[in-house]
Each structure stands twice: as C-alpha cells, then as structure tokens.
Structure 1
C-alpha cells in the first residue's frame, strides 16, 4: 500500500498535536483509566451544541484536529477528560462519570451502548460475588450457588454486550415482502415515470431467485455466493426433463436464470394474431436430441468457468448508486450478467441512513415460501437467539396459512421463539384496504382505526387456533414512512433483549439476597433434601417414553401439502432439494416426536422446581440455585430438541441412500400424466416405512435420542442438584 508524502506529513502533524495537547492536559485533568471512543466525544459535543471550531479554540488546537479525533478510534483517557471538561455540559459529565466508575471485571462498553447500565449492573454484581466469596460469611456449601450465579451473569453478558441482530423477513411468494423491505430500507430509485421502485426485482411472484441479505457499508456493493456446479447441473437436468415430460420441476425464477445463462430461451413470438412460445429446449428435443446430450450442451453454453466474479463495489459518492444497484441486482437475479453464475445468496451492501439508525442489523429477505415451511434455512433463523423472524402477510387474509403453519410447527417442535419474542407479524396493507374494514357495522373512519380493528381480529384468530400471541404491526410501503416499521422492529428487538435483562434482574436480586441473608444450618438441610428429591425424580425421568408420533408421518403430511414441482425436484435429487429436503423433514418429525415424548418429563421437573422454590422461600441462596436451574433447564431443553432434529436427519441418511428402487419409483411416477401424483407418492413412502428397511435408522434414532436425553438433560440435572448438597 502506497502512502503519499503529504499524507505522512499530515499524520506526523496530528501525532504532534495529540502529544502537545496531552502535555497541557496532564497537569489539568484528573486521572482516567479508560480511553473513550471518538464517536462518544462527538456525541457529547453535539448534545452540548458546541461547534468543532469553538471547542478547538478552547483546547488551543484547530477544527481539523478535533474532527480527526472524533472520527478515529479510542482517544487517550487524559485528553478525553480535558475534551469533556471543556464542554461543561450535563452529557459530558455523564460520560465522565460512566468511564470513571470502578470497572474491574469488565472493560466499559461504549457510552452509546443502549444497555450500558445493564452491563454496569453485571460488573457491580460480579464484584459483589467476588467480595462475598472472599468474606468470612462464605462457606464451601455456597460454592455451587456462587458458580451458578456467576455463570448466569456471564450468559447475560455475552448476549447483551453484542448489538448485532438479524431480521429475517419470511412470507409467501408474491406477498409483497421484498417491496416492503426495499421501501423500508429506502432502497428505491425512480423509474422512467418518476415513480419510486424497489432496487430489487419485484413482481406478482416468482421473481427473486435466492435469499438476499442487506448490510450497511461505506459504499454500494454486491456480493454473490454461487451455487456449486453440480447443483447447477442437477437444475439443468430437471429443466430438460421437465420440458420433455411437459411438467416443470424447476421453479420459474430459476428456469429463467438457467435459460438466460445458456441462451436456451423460450421467447414468445407473434404467430398470426396471437403469441406462441418457441422453447429452444423443446425444439431441440423434438429434433431428436437426447436429454443427457442436451443437458451437456446447455451446461457448456453457460461457460461457467468464465463466471467467477463474486463481488462488485461502487463508491458511495456516485450519484447513480441506487440505479447502479438496481441494474446490477436485476441482471444477476435474472442471469443476464456474464460475470456471475447462478446465485445461491446475494448480499447487498448499502450506505443506508435508515439501516444505520435501526442499529447493527443484517436484513434477510428469505426465499418466498411455497406451501412448505419446513426448510433448513427458515429453521436456522427461527432457532437463532439473535434473529427476529418477521412473518409477512397480506392485509385481507392475515394471519394467512403460512403464518399459522410456522407458529403451529414451532409449537409442535417445542421451539421457544414465540415465548422469547423472536417472532413477530408484519401485515402489509395496500391502498384503502384498512378503510374497508367494518368497525361496528360501519367502514373504518381512518386507516389507523382499520388497522386497529384488524389487529384485534388477528389476535382472536390466533387465539382461536390455539396459537401463541405475537406482536402485530402494519406497514404500507407506499403510504407509511420507513421509520414506522423500523420503530416497530426495534421495539421487538428490545423485547428480545429484555428476556435477558429479566434474567439479569433475577440474578442480581438473588446475589443481593444471598449476601444479605445466609442461614448455613437451614441451607445444609434444604440442599440434602433437594438432592434426595431429585434423585428420586431422575429415576422416573431418565428414560424417554416410547414413540408418540413416527418421524415419517411428518414426511407423509408434507408430501401431500407441498407443491408437486418441489416434491418432484426433491425426488430427482434423492431428497436433497432446498424447498423439500426429505432428511430435514424427517429430522423435524423426530424433533416433534421428541417434544411429545419429553413434555411430561419436563413438566415433572418444572413442578419439582416450583415445589422446592416454595418450600425454601426463606432461604435466598437455595432459591437462587433453583431459579438459575430453571433458566438452565429451558436452555437444555432447546439444546436437546435442536440435537434431535440433527439426529433424525443423520440417522435416515444412509438408509435412504441405499434405496435406489424407492427413488426410482418416486421419480418415475412424476410426469406420467396420471393425476394424483402426491397422493401416490405418499402411499409409496408410507409402504416403505412400514417395511423392515428403515429399522436400522429407527434403532439409531432411539439410541441417539436416549444418549442426547442423558447428556443434555438428565446428567446436567443430576450434577446441578447433587452439587448443591455437597459440603
């Protein structure tokens, strides 16, 4: 990297200025242990209403120096104190007080961190624990309590100190989530008529070819993760076979990319008074071309070796930034950019003020849902504790079938996503739809009233269906300000973080109560009693009950509910298809069954914890252990259920790989022209699972479930309750 002489001289002058300012400040300012970030100083100055030039004069320097200081990283503590004292404002005093605290266990977070006071509570409580541990009040019998409380505080700390979150927008194909997301992020540009349009390709459905991620960056850019060449070949084979059989097994948006990449298009041409499709693939097949040979020719025509580009960037100073982004994404999404292959994921980098104001967020526009919601990508987002899943639905049919299916499947799988505020609903009204809502027999007098009435109806629908209550918000991309939706999503993320603040509250209270009131004599007896009670309980719950719902039943249900093109594509790949992953669906079936089988055991454990908490309500240290154990049990349960999904997917993999006849029969049934494809396929698979062929897989599932139950639930529970009784 080359550095000009002028740049080097400027750097030297800046360092001299810093040194000079420090020499002046050493004698004038109190000692500060911690450096302070430049953006915190800038925040304090702006809140004080002081211009850089005025502050520079007070500091006996110049505005350029102050500007560079505020844009840089950590500022020397001594000079930072002088800077803040020169402002002489309430906010500056708050900053000084915050960094001047006795941070011993942690490094102080940024003053701009929204949870800085909660992180200070963690620091204070850790200090309290350490002081108590070293005091005469402490006793070896309290060691497990102290360890549990310290672990709880560390767990909360790890979550709250990070500010990054993912917001995953999920919805049916054509529901309008991509348009809403583009307008919310102000990723829109004027079209030929001057109307603002999304920079992402949008339409009535089947436009977006893959998942899109939006991140803030200093400049506009696009990064593409391409599909593997083997996966592309499989898609081309499906395309050719679908044309040959008269039934497409490739989604329209993917077929469009493949055709554009290869030049084997299907244009519409005028024939007489009407248009006809002249499919170059169909013409080649009709001319006697073998499907395998034609597949090779299409792959060769794509020239994949030359399509190795994975990223492009444009300076944020470009006046054409959004238009460039729109053109670039459109070409990549449709397969018309010769530099890029078939995209698996597109990441869009934007210098967006809207996103910056919303926080350190990554926004994911997931691939549109097509009947099936049991997809590995969606499951990953739902289970991620830092991700908010936004279920998008149209106004008239909210909560639509997909929203209800996601919520119900989460319940059946034992997910805590709704309980921990990680799922919300975003209703997308259009035009005057809210005004058409009936409010006590009359049309709603305003959009706000219409939305309020609709929200009540949605909540009643969810309650009537036995589904969890989730927050519902509304956003019309063409009428509402983006701040409306971001405020709602920020509030939801605050609720997600609030779950961990609640755990912090319990830990802080437990520490304070333990320090203030320790009765060692009663504690010994209580802990021995708890150990004995849980030893008896563990004997009752250490073995899982028998199967309640066979894993393959979930597969049969999904076969009948899914789109036949997705099912056919999966069968052609021996179950390995993103929109219908047979192994993932079987894994979900194992998880659903494991949730049913373990629910009574968890109920017994939780009941025992409640009884112990009530019985020993007068012993703060014992209550602290029980409260901590309840929180840990909730996490152990999610860990166990997450493992069960993987167990199911892995266990059936080898069995299904060794069933060529099953796949051949399943594949051959498609495209025969005989109706009832999915029903027949369900019968084929039901018959297979009633044979002895899957017995090894079922035995492997049972063995691994038993092992997972012992390692994630029984053994940790035994260790936690036994440890508290040791002296």
Structure 2
C-alpha cells in the first residue's frame, strides 16, 4: 500500500470501523465475507493489528458503499509535496487536486534548463499551495467572545451551548459563574473532551506576588486621595475586584458582613485588621502569602466523579466557582481555566471548536490578550455589544485598531453579536415615522441598519451582525450564526487554494507559447517600472510609543502603577504590546497605500485585453506582494515588541522614578507619561526607532524583490 509507512493502524482501523458502522453491516457479518475471524477484524478496527492493502481493499469491496469507495480512492494516493490529510478530512479531493498541480510544478521547476524567473514563479506557486493546504488541514477553530464587563458574554455562551443547570426554583443558571460583571478571575476556555472536568493553568509565583503587592497597596493605602486616581478619587484600584476577591479567599481574608443585635449588617474587613498588625508593605505581603499555603495548592486538573452526589453540570458549576473565587484549597490563582465537557459546543461536523470567554473590558480595550485574536485566521473574534449603544465604543475602537494595524480579514474573522435585554428591541422606533416596532425582529432589523451606518466610516458596514437575547431567543439561532461565520472562514480557505491551483494550471498550460511569453515580458516591464518607482518607503509622521501614551491617559491611575511595578508588562497594560502595535501601525501608514495601488494596478492590467494572457502572472504578483507585506507587518511588530521590551527592562531608573510619583498628589498619570515621553525621546531610543525604520525599508525592498523575481529580466 502506497501509504503504509505514514498511515497509522489506529487511524486506518478507526476509519474502517466508522465506514462499516455507517454501512449498517455488523462486524461478525463482515468477518464472514472477508474470510477473517471476528477477533482479527476487531483488532484491525481497534488499531492493534496492521492491515495490508489487499485486506483493506477486500473489506471495502464487501462494504460496497460510496463512502467505502471514497476511502479506497484515498488510500491509493501517494502524497509527495503536500502533507497527507487525515482519512476523515472532508476536503480530500480538493487537496489531492492541489497535490497533483504541485507535483507538476515541482517536476518542471527541477528541470536544469528552467529559466530563473520561471523557476521563481513555480516555487512561489508551490509555496502558495502549501500555505493554502496548511490553512485547510487545520480544523481546530476558536470562537473568542470579547466585550465589556457585565455585557453578558458568559451567560450567552452558556445559554447557546446548553451549559446550564437547574436551580432549586426550577430556573436555569449558567455553569460559568455570572453576576453583575467582574466575576471571572481569568480567561476561560471551553472545549470538548473525554468527560466533565477543569484544567487550570496557574499563575507563576512572581506573578502571584505582584498581585498580592497590588492587594497590599489597596488595603494599606485605603481610600484614594482626591484626584490621584481621577475625579474625586472615584477610580478603581489597580488590582481587579475579581482577583482581589480570589486572593482574599485564598488567605482567609474575605470581607464579612454579619448582622448585629439590631438586625443591621456591619462590615468587617479581616485584611484591614491584619494591616494593623503588619503595617509595612513587606510584612503584610509576607503574611498574606504565608496564609495562602501555596505549597499545598499544586493541583492542575479535576474531573467529575459520580461519588460527588451531584449531576455533572452542577458539579462543574460548583467546582468552577470554587476555583474562580480562590475557595478551593488545592488550586492556586489561575491564569487560565479550561472547562471540558463531553458534548460538542457547536454542532458542526469535521471541526473542533473551542470557545474563549475573554476577561471583560474595563476601560482598556486595547489589550494584548484581546487583540491577538484578530490576526489568527482560525479564530472568530465575536465582539459582544449591549443593544442600546451597539456597536459599543469598545467594539469600534478594537475594529479601528485592527484596521490601522493592517488586518485584512475582518470580513471573515470578526463578527458583532448584540446582546439585547428583554424589552430593549421592542422599545425601538422607526426614525422616519416614530412608530414603535411591532416585534423584536423588527427592532433587530432597525438596530442593524443603525450599526451598518456607524461602521461605514471604517469600511465595515457589511460586517456580520447577529442579535441574541439569551433570555428569550432560541439558542439554535446563535449557534447557526456562529456556524455560518466558521463556514465562511473555511470557504475562504478553499477559495484561496482553488485560485492558486487554477492560476498554476494556467501557467503550466501556456508557459511555452511564444505569444504568451511576449505578453508576459510586456506586463513584466510595467511591473518592473512600478517597483522601481515605489522602491522608497514613504516618510510618515508618528512614533512607536503613540498607542502606549494614549492608553496611559485612558487607563486607571492604579492600572498604570501596577504596570510600572511589573516593568511595563501587565495584562491590563502591556508596554511591549502597544509599542509593537505602534511599530506595525507606522509600517501600515507608510505602505498600505502603495500595496493597495499595486493591487489596483494588477487588476486594471488583468482587465485589459492586451494583457489577457498575463492574468495569472498579475494575480500571482498581487498575492506575492500581499503575503510579503503581511509578513513585513508581523516582523515589524515583533521587532518593536522585542527590542523596546529589552531596552525597558534594562533601565530600572525609569521604573523607579515612575514608582516614586505615586502618592504625590493629583496628576499621577500625567507625570508618568512625561517620564515615559522623555525616555522615548532619548537618543538611544531614537536610535532604536531608526533601526525599526531601517527594518521596514529592508523588508519592503525584499517584498518588491519577491515580486520582480517572478518577472522575465529586462533586456
């Protein structure tokens, strides 16, 4: 068998069993037909016994179903260029077509007399087919729910996935802990697995100690001084309330509210009482860490046991709440919690889908843990918004930043999910007549029109929008919407590989014709000219730190202080993330317009009859520049993150002077921003920015060279 050396007996056996079961033939009956004992056939299906080609073909012939014929065909294929897809991959035929084209391209490329420019075109098509195949082969997708604190993400996720459990009064409550917002201590992932369980990725000791330092500050300091944290001292503490709650529970310092003899409740704060015994920060932190008994908190996963006496989902709800609130003595503070359930979260065949409940946005929407989802083609970023102000300010900001960073896949990899509360849709009125709507669906339709108008300045008026009232709307509607968005993303992968295959086949058909060669040279001269005229990177006004400085101004003062304490690296305010974003934005400002101009130039030429035979060259050149440009943006972002992060860590004086500003009265953020600005304006940092600009220039030169390498050399 051609693929005996790469096909595992387990994969083949499992697939044979599935094909047999779907054919309706019992194992014993099939064993009689193929002259194998039931025990041998059972071992083949379990993967315990290797199977020969003759045995497989005999089995498939006896099954005699279309699925058996498809499997027989798949087993005859010898994959040489592209990776072999799993036997149950639904795009076997499409990938095989790409493999056959890639094989022809390799054969032609490897001929010793192949001209260099033509060899480059062949190699580029091979690489493009490989990239397209990799996108299609990966069937693990994520759906990341993003929105402000209290918008209702967790409730919506549990409602649409049936992760609910009945309360004593018969009403259903979500498995994930919900409330008025600010409940979940970390990012939560939900996925399918072998049973009901929780897997915890813990925070490291250093991270935990920094969190306890933040808690100590909020307790030892007491109420903020007027204007130190904002108007009238009303801003929140640097540590989030959910983290503070978990730390207090871990150290047995939860706030108590007992009833007095008069029936009124009083507030007792053991942490403040402890602060009276240990008044210095160091003493207080050591005492709190000691009370946590971290050496006992070494458990990383827990699985449902029927001996608990609870139903699986009730156990999952209670155990999640205990870990999330720091009430489980076996678990430390989590960085991430994975909720594992045995059923599918989304009823979609052939894909593995993980749901991500991101931490709610509290003023700082531009966070690394959120913005990373916009750049992953296998992640659907679902922006959750309240009904009345949809699209929410956080949604618009994130979409605008993604556009500014050069993200080009928002139409397929982002979506808006509006979460109305009861009666909100029915309160809508027609703008023209002021007449109230007659149904929630009509209210949704009117709000959808308003959303499209609001997103039009961003060029995203066609962004996918859905409405889901978790209290009243059927869960199936939300499931269907997410399924449609994932199907759309998969279709884009297929389109990509089909277009590459079709263009490559056109090249293979016509590469030897003299008339075609003449047209290619003519088109190539035009593209050479464009590349020469656009070789210099346009000068733009801006600096890498602009995003960071803007976020410092909108963040809580205590958030800025917490980031300063961590030398600029905190989930709520990451210096390196914003500098990397700023570097990428500068590259977009300089090069997005030339890339768009090149795309338009290629499309215009391809539509001209004179260049009809060069259409595949022009399409390939357009794709090559786009891919090179996207790679340029990733490199620039990585360099901005890495180089400046190292420079920041190497300068303890910056952090010390910023720390010293705390407690000095109003204007803390302004003073820290001034120190940061001075740091970036230093000649050493200006040199780093010059190096970044040099990288952009080098990578642009390389991107253009990737294009011109496809062209016949100028005489």
TM-score w.r.t. length of structure 2: 0.86
Q: Does 1:147 align with 2:123?
A: yes
Output the CA distance in 2 between the equivalents of 1:397 and 1:633: 39
Q: Is the CA contact 1:371–1:562 (under 8 Å) kept in the aligned structure 2?
A: yes
Output the CA distance in 2 between the equivalents of 1:691 and 1:394: 40
Residues 207-216 or 34-43, more deviating: 34-43
1:163: which partner in 2?
A: 139
1:587: which partner in 2?
A: 580
Output the CA distance in 2 between the equivalents of 1:96 and 1:72: 18
* Matched position secondary structure for 1:293: helix
1:477: which partner in 2?
A: 470
Residues 1:45 and 1:454: Cα distance change in structure 2 (over 3 Å): farther
Deviations 1:229-268 (A, max 9, x none): 1111111111111122224321110001111111122222
2:232: which partner in 1?
A: none
Residues 1:534 and 1:515: Cα distance change in structure 2 (over 3 Å): closer
Residues 1:50 and 1:242: Cα distance change in structure 2 (over 3 Å): same
1:347-496 aligned within 5 A:
347-355=338-346, 357=348, 359-419=351-411, 421-438=412-429, 441-464=434-457, 466-467=459-460, 469-496=462-489
Instruction: Kindly state the Cα deviation for residue 645 of structure 1 after the two structures are TM-superposed.
Output: 2.5
Consecutive unaligned residues of structure 2, counting only runs of 5 or more, are: 225-236
1:325 corresponds, among 311, 316, 322, to 316
Instruction: Kindly state the Cα deviation for residue 497 of structure 1 after the two structures are TM-superposed.
Output: 2.4
Residues 1:139 and 1:585: Cα distance change in structure 2 (over 3 Å): closer
Output the CA distance in 2 between the equivalents of 1:317 and 1:492: 41
Deviations 1:537-565 (A, max 9, x none): 44544443334222333223212222333
Residues 1:69 and 1:479: Cα distance change in structure 2 (over 3 Å): farther
Q: Does 1:277 align with 2:248?
A: no
Residues 523-532 or 281-290, more deviating: 523-532
Output the CA distance in 1 between the equivalents of 2:25 and 2:445: 44
Residues 1:61 and 1:520: Cα distance change in structure 2 (over 3 Å): closer
2:254 corresponds, among 241, 249, 265, to 265
Residues 1:437 and 1:688: Cα distance change in structure 2 (over 3 Å): closer
Instruction: Kindly state the Cα deviation for residue 618 of structure 1 after the two structures are TM-superposed.
Output: 4.4
Consecutive unaligned residues of structure 1, counting only runs of 5 or more, are: 1-25
Output the CA distance in 2 between the equivalents of 1:242 and 1:200: 28
Instruction: Kindly state the Cα deviation for residue 105 of structure 1 after the two structures are TM-superposed.
Output: 5.2
Output the CA distance in 2 between the equivalents of 1:69 and 1:484: 42
1:698: which partner in 2?
A: 686
1:223: which partner in 2?
A: 199
Output the CA distance in 2 between the equivalents of 1:655 and 1:142: 45
Output the CA distance in 2 between the equivalents of 1:313 and 1:484: 31
Q: Does 1:336 align with 2:327?
A: yes
Residues 1:68 and 1:433: Cα distance change in structure 2 (over 3 Å): farther
TM-score w.r.t. length of structure 1: 0.85
Residues 1:490 and 1:617: Cα distance change in structure 2 (over 3 Å): farther
Instruction: Kindly state the Cα deviation for residue 613 of structure 1 after the two structures are TM-superposed.
Output: 4.0
2:169: which partner in 1?
A: 193
Output the CA distance in 2 between the equivalents of 1:307 and 1:212: 20
* Matched position secondary structure for 1:270: coil
2:514: which partner in 1?
A: 521
Output the CA distance in 2 between the equivalents of 1:215 and 1:689: 44
Output the CA distance in 1 between the equivalents of 2:166 and 2:679: 61
Q: Does 1:178 align with 2:169?
A: no
Instruction: Kindly state the Cα deviation for residue 173 of structure 1 after the two structures are TM-superposed.
Output: 1.0
Q: Is the CA contact 1:427–1:472 (under 8 Å) kept in the aligned structure 2?
A: yes
1:526-605 aligned within 5 A:
533=526, 536-605=529-598
Instruction: Kindly state the Cα deviation for residue 106 of structure 1 after the two structures are TM-superposed.
Output: 5.4
Output the CA distance in 2 between the equivalents of 1:395 and 1:69: 56
Residues 1:239 and 1:614: Cα distance change in structure 2 (over 3 Å): same
Q: Is the CA contact 1:153–1:504 (under 8 Å) kept in the aligned structure 2?
A: yes
2:701 corresponds, among 699, 702, 714, to 714
Instruction: Kindly state the Cα deviation for residue 321 of structure 1 after the two structures are TM-superposed.
Output: 2.1
* Matched position secondary structure for 1:275: coil
Instruction: Kindly state the Cα deviation for residue 395 of structure 1 after the two structures are TM-superposed.
Output: 2.3
Output the CA distance in 1 between the equivalents of 2:534 and 2:77: 48
Output the CA distance in 1 between the equivalents of 2:535 and 2:511: 33
Residues 441-450 or 189-198, more deviating: 441-450
Q: Does 1:682 align with 2:670?
A: yes
Q: Is the CA contact 2:120–2:709 (under 8 Å) kept in the aligned structure 1?
A: no
1:650 corresponds, among 642, 655, 676, to 642
Deviations 1:660-704 (A, max 9, x none): 565445445545664xx4xx5235424652578533112212213
1:637 corresponds, among 629, 636, 644, to 629
Q: Is the CA contact 2:598–2:622 (under 8 Å) kept in the aligned structure 1?
A: no
* Matched position secondary structure for 1:689: helix
* Matched position secondary structure for 2:259: strand
Output the CA distance in 2 between the equivalents of 1:529 and 1:702: 38
Deviations 1:161-192 (A, max 9, x none): 22111221111111111111122222222222
Instruction: Kindly state the Cα deviation for residue 104 of structure 1 after the two structures are TM-superposed.
Output: 6.3
Output the CA distance in 1 between the equivalents of 2:574 and 2:79: 50
Output the CA distance in 1 between the equivalents of 2:653 and 2:522: 59
Q: Is the CA contact 1:236–1:295 (under 8 Å) kept in the aligned structure 2?
A: yes
2:244 corresponds, among 255, 261, 277, to 255
Residues 1:572 and 1:405: Cα distance change in structure 2 (over 3 Å): same
1:21: which partner in 2?
A: none
Instruction: Kindly state the Cα deviation for residue 577 of structure 1 after the two structures are TM-superposed.
Output: 1.5
1:50-69 aligned within 5 A:
none
1:235: which partner in 2?
A: 211
1:291: which partner in 2?
A: 281
Q: Is the CA contact 2:31–2:41 (under 8 Å) kept in the aligned structure 1?
A: yes
Instruction: Kindly state the Cα deviation for residue 222 of structure 1 after the two structures are TM-superposed.
Output: 1.6
Residues 1:531 and 1:240: Cα distance change in structure 2 (over 3 Å): same
Output the CA distance in 2 between the equivalents of 1:580 and 1:256: 21
Q: Is the CA contact 1:507–1:624 (under 8 Å) kept in the aligned structure 2?
A: no
Instruction: Kindly state the Cα deviation for residue 310 of structure 1 after the two structures are TM-superposed.
Output: 1.2
Residues 1:644 and 1:672: Cα distance change in structure 2 (over 3 Å): same
1:13: which partner in 2?
A: none
Residues 1:43 and 1:656: Cα distance change in structure 2 (over 3 Å): closer
Instruction: Kindly state the Cα deviation for residue 208 of structure 1 after the two structures are TM-superposed.
Output: 0.2
* Matched position secondary structure for 2:258: strand
Instruction: Kindly state the Cα deviation for residue 518 of structure 1 after the two structures are TM-superposed.
Output: 3.6
Output the CA distance in 2 between the equivalents of 1:396 and 1:71: 55
Residues 1:530 and 1:656: Cα distance change in structure 2 (over 3 Å): same
Indicate the RMSD between aligned Cα atoms, in angstroms.
3.6
Q: Is the CA contact 2:95–2:133 (under 8 Å) kept in the aligned structure 1?
A: yes
